[in-house]
Amino acid sequence: MASGATPRSTDNGSSEPPPATPPPWKVEGAPPADKPVPPPKGPNLMRRPRWWLVLLAAFALNWLLASLFVPDNELATINYTRFRTELDAGNVKTVSSKGDTIQGELNAPIDLDGTEITDFTTERPSFADDNLLQILSDRGVEVSAKPIASDQPWWLVLLANFGPTLLLVGLLVFATRAMRGGMGGGIGGLGRSKAVRVDETEGGKRATFDDVAGIDEVEEQVVEIVDFLRHPDKYRAVGAQLPRGVLLSGLPGTGKTLLARALAGEAGVPFFSASASEFIEMIVGVGASRVRDLFEQAKKVAPAIIFIDELDAIGRARGGGASLGGVDEREQTLNQILTEMDGFTGAEGVIVVAATNRPDVLDPALLRPGRFDRRIVVNPPDIVGREAILKVHTRGVPLASDVSLATLAAATPGMVGADLKNLINEGALLAASKGETEITYADLTNALEKIVLGAERHITLSEDERRRTAFHESGHALLGMLIAGADPVRKVSIIPRGQALGVTFQAPSADRYGYDEAYLRGRITGALGGRAAEDVVYGNVTTGAESDLEQVTAIARQMVGRWGMSEAIGPITVLPGGQGENWYPGDARQPSESTRELVDHETRRLVDECYDEARHLLREHRPQLDALAGALLERETLDEVDAYAAAGVDHPSVEPLP
């Protein structure tokens, strides 16, 4: 939700961020035509079949040879009684034997299970004492002295016996070469970056500074880097070196990745992009190997830019403990990055651009001069910047004549580039679903409500619950109108959205960069307006104020423990600073038990004072509260002008938002 916007709800809800799946290596751009890329060392791995294809081909070849050379003329087997019958009839021509196995040829073919045979084999019982040799001699049968015929040729026997062994030895040699670097480093190429070089980005052209808007002050800080990459001789003539690293920090969606791509596009150099988490694997050493390979690729096509997103995934301060075997794969990867950046002389033409949302947790070795020489903070855009971003994202988008991007920019304080792009897309989806050919301003405002307030829910409320919700939201809205310096009320609704049964939307007319104590007290008082209205009208409260109380508690504790707005605590910080930061046991910054109790006491005192003020104002302006609730029950949704008119409160001297 955009900062500066103050939605109120009667039911607590939360939203889950969409899963993110980081992509593999991406490379944009190609080396200049006058600087050919040297071929990689070793064999041409792009033409080498994968190992499983080699294994499959070997087994297929073995099966083919066996099927081709196994003889089809296997001897028919007859029992010994049938053999003696044919022998007594004088139908046996020749025989040969080995042990009790007898093979032979008949004078005339005989029928065996519907098949005529002349060659046969049989087994002579070991207990037979029929003087077979004498009988054969009497019948004139030729007894051969050569060994009995083999089922298979000798070479096929050797192939069957030793072929699998030879195949396994060959595969072992192949795998050994792969592990030693024959496949590009690591086991099966795990240590090799899967980079794919393309000449153009999506859309048919590379990103440039024309695609980046709203962060002009950041662009100014990277212009000379672009000029260095374009005209390196001009800088080398005076002994200047290319900065080795640029660290971009800022909130998610502010355009850090787009800025890095535009930097590479303006300079016309290859752009290697990777997420820091892609370096980490369970196999120790793989991350460091991937780092080495990535930097080697960049140096081969220099000048180039390496972009590492979410650097804090591997760049956190070292010393936080070791993994299995006492070896921390993350620290090894970080050490390799430090080593590679130290290896730059400034003449390679390779610059590392990294982005992070948590620069405070990075290892100090990354932030020293000579590594990330420049640290640039990418802040959310102001109203002028938001209008410029909206112009970029509406290129080629059919907008209706009633759309004012300046007005839309004023209604979206705190939103970053990604939020504004999503807003335009949601508006386009709404327009398309209604069969419209242009996006109207109503489509964009409905999309804004959906993003900030949540999607409408089609549920049926009882009349009593609907009436209570109307008073709850009227309490929020009326206090927002009465408290001096509060953000103007932009919309009030009792239509269920998301997990809330009703919402009150407040947004400032101008961007705020600092908040005084009076404004924050007003935020707390307004947030307690729903609970106070229920107390004043019904004499009791419900669970509908859960999310309001969470917001109130967070603001009050920060006023007391971080911003020095409590005389009892004084101008000191006694609470953790960053989002999600906690103090670990024994942390020297952790306050004493008595100080923590004092923080709780002061927080409760501040909230109680604001709650008493909220009830006092609502009792004093009860007719206006009833009028606003009645208008909500009748119309369900009130825009800015109608809400102030229904409450009988003069509209502040600011231009209302449509």
What is the token pair recorded at 54? 């080699």
pLDDT in tens, 489-538: 888 988 888 778 888 888 887 777 788 999 999 999 999 999 999 999 99
CATH topology of domain 463-647: Methane Monooxygenase Hydroxylase; Chain G, domain 1 (1.20.58)
Q: 390-396, long-range: CB within 8 Å, 24+ apart, which pairs?
A: 390/420, 390/424, 391/213, 392/211, 392/212, 392/213, 393/420, 393/421, 393/424, 394/424
Residue with tokens 């405002």: 445
Tally of CB atoms within 10 A around 537: 20
CATH topology of domain 383-453: Helicase, Ruva Protein; domain 3 (1.10.8)
CA dihedral 153, 154, 155, 157 (to 10 degrees): 90
pLDDT of residue 619: 93
CB 192 within 8 A of CB 46: no
Domain boundaries, the chain: 21-42+192-317+328-378, 51-70+154-182, 76-143, 383-453, 463-647
What is d(CA 75, CA 231) in angstroms, rounded to the nearest whole number?
85
pLDDT at 549 over 50: yes
What's the one-letter identity of residue 475? G
Q: Which residues are catalytic?
A: 473
CB 124 within 8 A of CB 102: yes
pLDDT in tens, 279-318: 766 555 667 778 888 888 888 887 888 888 888 888 877 7
Burial of 344 (0-12, 13-18, 19+ CB in 10 A): buried
What's the one-letter identity of residue 93? K
pLDDT in tens, 74-118: 678 888 888 888 888 888 888 888 778 888 888 888 888 888 888
H, E, C per residue of 382-425: CHHHHHHHHHHHCCCCCECCCCCHHHHHHCCCCCCHHHHHHHHH
305 against 4, higher pLDDT = 305
Average pLDDT over residues 116-128: 85
Q: What pLDDT band is residue 274 in, cutting at 50, 70 and 90?
A: confident
Residue with tokens 């065996």: 112
Tally of CB atoms within 10 A around 206: 20
Burial of 456 (0-12, 13-18, 19+ CB in 10 A): middle
588 against 149, higher pLDDT = 588
Residue with tokens 């829910």: 457
Which class is domain 76-143? alpha beta
pLDDT of residue 657: 52
For residue 493, give the 3-state DSSP assignment. Answer: strand
CB 302 within 8 A of CB 267: no
262 against 202, higher pLDDT = 262
Q: Tell me 486's DSSP state.
A: P
Burial of 76 (0-12, 13-18, 19+ CB in 10 A): middle
Domains 21-42+192-317+328-378 and 463-647 share a fold: no
617 against 455, higher pLDDT = 617
Burial of 51 (0-12, 13-18, 19+ CB in 10 A): middle
Question: Which string of b and e fits 579-588 if b means at least 16 CB within 10 Å?
Answer: eeeeeeeeee
What is d(CA 26, CA 197) in angstroms, rounded to the nearest whole number?
7
H, E, C per residue of 281-330: CCCCCHHHHHHHHHHHHHHHCCCEEEEEECCHHHHECCCCCCCHHHCCHH
Which class is domain 21-42+192-317+328-378? alpha beta
